[in-house]
A = this chain, B = another copy of it.
Amino acid sequence: MSLNQLGIVKRNIVRADSAAVARLSKLGVATIHESMGRVGLMKPFMRPIYTGAHVCGTAVTVLMHPGDNWMLHVVAEQLQQGDVIVAACTADSDDGFCGELLATSFRARGGLGLVIDGGVRDIKELTAMQFPVFARAISAKGTVKSTVGSVNIPVVCAGASVNPGDVIVADDDGVVVVPAALAAATAHASEAREANEADKRTKLAAGVLGLDMYKMREALEKAGLKYID
């Protein structure tokens, strides 16, 4: 373990099992996050740049400096088909680190989408491309290319710990990180959870109360809930 973790590009990473990724791509972020015990979620300031954006793939991570997007060019070379770029920054920065040209490059190299704890620009063009981006801000502010960061080191992105190769799933509800080693188990638990929801939905739509369906009345009474008129 070196003192300085900046200035490193790790070329070989172990990506999560592709079959598990394929299964997770059919599931919602809220469901996956629940299945994992309610951990692994990025902060809610991470929003899709267009309604309906969705992406599921394996993380290739990059650590940038505020106002500097040099490493996004470096990370492009490390992409494989099915990857999602996860860009963290050493400090909060809303600058427009990525636009249409970089997204074109990412896609050409196999990148499925971008999750960035920073700003992006060319919103019109990125939307036209239907390139899913989840970001903390939208800003036309350009960046410099002066200082090296790192690629494929563990990063903290929007409050979540991400290791290279982890599964990233993002939709209108947010962004969740599934550790590579838990991908299959999480897919399994999430599918079970979802299968269970259809029946609940039917009952609730028919007017059955969650109070009864989940048998909450006794626990509520024990917790001291009182009904008055």
Contacts and interface: CB of A to CB of B under 8 A. Distances in A.
B10 A229 contact: yes
Interface string A81-124: 00000000011111110011110110111000000000101111
Given A124-B52, A146-B146, A139 B3 contact: no
A38 B6 contact: yes
Q: How many copies does the complex hold?
A: 6
A44 B94 contact: yes
Contacts of A214: 73
A95 B200 CA distance: 22
B74 A140 contact: no
A140 B28 CA distance: 9
Interface in A141-159: 141-142, 144-148, 154, 156, 159
Contact of A225 (B44, B74, B161): B74
Contact of A140 (B6, B142, B173): B173
A121 B95 CA distance: 23
B37 A3 contact: yes
Contact of A30 (B29, B140, B201): B140
A189 B3 CA distance: 9
A124 B172 contact: yes
A58 interface: no
Interface in A1-15: 1, 3-12
